């Protein structure tokens, strides 16, 4: 009987994925839910594997590929982000790569909405007033007053799948205008009547600035002192994309000094953010632990699609969701 292919999985995988892989493969899984160590990654593939399942930030680079050996046919990342993969090197070796766009769009858009509402309606301050004391009253009519979405200008940096899904969810709130910036105008912008503008114009005119773009070599630290200085003092900044888009020292200064009103971050650098990180001391900064795709539905769909990508790659078939 031919031996079953070996798959190394660099973090615990939801049941929909692991069960599927187990039907046809011998699966080795990094045993904890914490980020895999570099040594864990190297040891996991050492001796040769037929497939790797991973997730950012688990790096798959030359060293990992060399240890995985000539049998490696396919890499399935359970993410839409690809920054952990050395794609040119992987391609050079003829290894197929699958990823999981689309299935996490709704979940990530919902998370963006959650942060938008949590920051605009000051929920963090409200929760702590309820639980830790200080539950105020009417307070001259202005106790814990927030900022309304209705009538606002919303700027979306990166009107891709997730950006569009956010705009569609915001439309019924009565947003007065959507602006977006990016590399090029998008035909689907007309679905939400969004106007393509320069990044600076978006910063200057938006009441809410939402980062939905994927990370690339050009946009590291895009949201820096210069960018925050162009925003309205009443602006709220939301990031559900990647922490590296933001210069966190500059964001801290902008929030602390009142240069912008508030921020909602689902991503940070590093993750997890250290216990004593200055951003955690700010009541106008709501931080969640990278929960964008964290719904049971999305995670199971991501795991299942990843497993299907891997199984197809092992059989030499076209992947259901190949990296373009
Ligand atoms: O890249 C992604 O898919 C998300 O960040 C998943 O967690």
Q: What pLDDT shows up at residue 259?
A: 98
Q: How far is the CA of 290 from the centre of ligand 1 (A)?
A: 8
163 CB near ligand 1 (under 6 Å): no
Give the pairing type, strands 262-265 and 208-211. Answer: unpaired
111 CB near ligand 1 (under 6 Å): no
Q: How far is the CA of 266 from the centre of ligand 1 (A)?
A: 11
101 CB near ligand 1 (under 6 Å): no
Give the pairing type, strands 194-196 and 177-181. Answer: parallel
Q: What pLDDT shows up at residue 155?
A: 98
**Identified catalytic residue from 55, 131, 277, 290:** 290
**Distance of alpha carbon 84 from its chain centroid, rounded?**
13
321 CB near ligand 1 (under 6 Å): no
Q: How far is the CA of 227 from the centre of ligand 1 (A)?
A: 25
Q: What pLDDT shows up at residue 32?
A: 86
Tell me whether residue 290 is one of the annotated catalytic residues. yes
Rounded CA separation 182/195 (Å): 11
Rounded CA separation 241/225 (Å): 19
**Using CA atoms in the order 280, 286, 287, 292, what is the torsion angle rounded to 10 degrees?**
180
Residue nearest to atom 4 of ligand 1 (CA): 79
Please answer whether residues 82 and 75 qualify as being in contact, where contact means their C-beta atoms are separated by less than 8 angstroms: no
Rounded CA separation 149/174 (Å): 7
Max CA distance (Å), the chain: 79
Q: How far is the CA of 167 from the centre of ligand 1 (A)?
A: 19
pLDDT tens, N- to C-terminus, the chain (324 residues): 568 999 999 998 999 999 999 999 999 999 888 889 999 999 999 999 999 999 999 999 999 999 999 999 999 999 999 999 999 999 999 999 999 999 999 999 999 999 999 999 999 999 999 999 889 887 788 999 999 999 999 999 999 999 999 999 999 999 999 999 999 999 999 999 999 999 999 999 999 999 999 998 899 999 999 999 999 999 999 999 999 999 999 999 999 999 999 999 999 999 999 999 999 999 999 999 999 999 999 999 999 999 999 999 999 999 999 999
Position in ligand 1 atom list of the atom nearest CA 79? 3
Residue nearest to atom 6 of ligand 1 (CA): 79
Rounded CA separation 164/99 (Å): 20
Q: How far is the CA of 176 from the centre of ligand 1 (A)?
A: 30
Q: What pLDDT shows up at residue 33?
A: 80
Residue nearest to atom 1 of ligand 1 (CA): 81
Angle, helices 123-132 vs 105-120, to 10°: value is: 70
Apex 316 CA angle, 82 and 91, nearest 5? 35
DSSP for 71-128, written as a single string: T--EEEESSS--TTB-HHHHHHTT-EEE---STTHHHHHHHHHHHHHHHHTTHHHHHH
Domain with CATH 3.40.50.720 in the chain: 6-103+296-314, 105-287
293 CB near ligand 1 (under 6 Å): yes
5 CB near ligand 1 (under 6 Å): no
Q: What pLDDT shows up at residue 99?
A: 98
How high is the ipTM of this complex? Answer: 0.93
Position in ligand 1 atom list of the atom nearest CA 99? 3
What CATH homologous superfamily does 105-287 map to?
Answer: NAD(P)-binding Rossmann-like Domain (3.40.50.720)
Q: What pLDDT shows up at residue 124?
A: 96
Q: What pLDDT shows up at residue 319?
A: 98
80 CB near ligand 1 (under 6 Å): yes
DSSP for 24-81, written as a single string: HSEEEE-SSSSPPPHHHHHHHHTT--SEEEE-TTS-B-HHHHHHH-TT--EEEESSS-
Q: Which class for 157: exposed (0-12), middle (13-18), buried (19 or more C-beta within 10 A)?
A: buried
Q: What pLDDT shows up at residue 292?
A: 97
For residue 310, what is the enclosing H or E element? helix 296-314
Q: How far is the CA of 215 from the centre of ligand 1 (A)?
A: 11
Position in ligand 1 atom list of the atom nearest CA 290? 7
What CATH homologous superfamily does 6-103+296-314 map to?
Answer: NAD(P)-binding Rossmann-like Domain (3.40.50.720)
Calculate the alpha carbon distances from 92 to 49, 86, 88, 217, 310 in Å. 18, 10, 6, 20, 19
Q: What pLDDT shows up at residue 130?
A: 94
């Amino acid at each position: 009987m031919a031996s079953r292919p070996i798959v190394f999985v660099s973090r615990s995988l939801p049941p929909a994925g692991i069960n599927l892989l187990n039907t046809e493969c011998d699966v080795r899984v990094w045993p904890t839910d914490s980020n895999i160590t570099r040594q864990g990654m190297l040891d996991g593939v050492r001796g040769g594997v037929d497939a790797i399942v991973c997730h950012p930030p688990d790096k798959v680079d030359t060293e990992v590929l060399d240890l995985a050996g000539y049998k490696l046919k396919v890499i399935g990342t359970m993410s839409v982000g690809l920054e952990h993969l050395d794609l040119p090197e992987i391609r050079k070796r003829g290894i197929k790569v699958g990823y999981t766009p689309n299935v996490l769009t709704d979940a990530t858009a919902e998370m963006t909405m959650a942060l938008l509402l949590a920051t605009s309606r000051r929920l963090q301050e409200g929760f702590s007033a309820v639980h830790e004391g200080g539950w105020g009253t009417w307070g001259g009519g202005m106790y814990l007053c927030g900022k309304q979405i209705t009538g606002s200008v919303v700027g979306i940096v990166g009107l891709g799948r997730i950006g569009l899904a956010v705009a569609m969810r915001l439309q019924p709130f009565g947003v007065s205008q959507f602006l977006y910036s990016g590399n090029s105008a998008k035909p689907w912008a007309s679905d939400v009547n969004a106007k393509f503008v320069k990044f600076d114009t978006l910063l200057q005119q938006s009441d809410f600035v939402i980062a939905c773009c994927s990370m690339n070599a050009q946009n590291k630290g895009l949201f820096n002192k210069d960018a925050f200085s162009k925003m309205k003092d009443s602006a709220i900044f939301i990031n559900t994309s990647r922490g590296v888009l933001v210069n966190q020292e500059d964001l801290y200064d902008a929030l602390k000094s009142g240069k912008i009103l508030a921020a909602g971050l689902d991503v940070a650098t590093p993750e997890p953010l250290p216990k004593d990180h200055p951003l955690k001391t700010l009541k106008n900064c709501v931080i969640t632990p990278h929960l964008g795709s964290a719904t049971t539905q999305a995670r199971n769909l991501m795991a299942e699609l990843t497993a299907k990508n891997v199984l197809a790659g092992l059989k030499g078939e076209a992947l259901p969701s190949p990296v373009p």
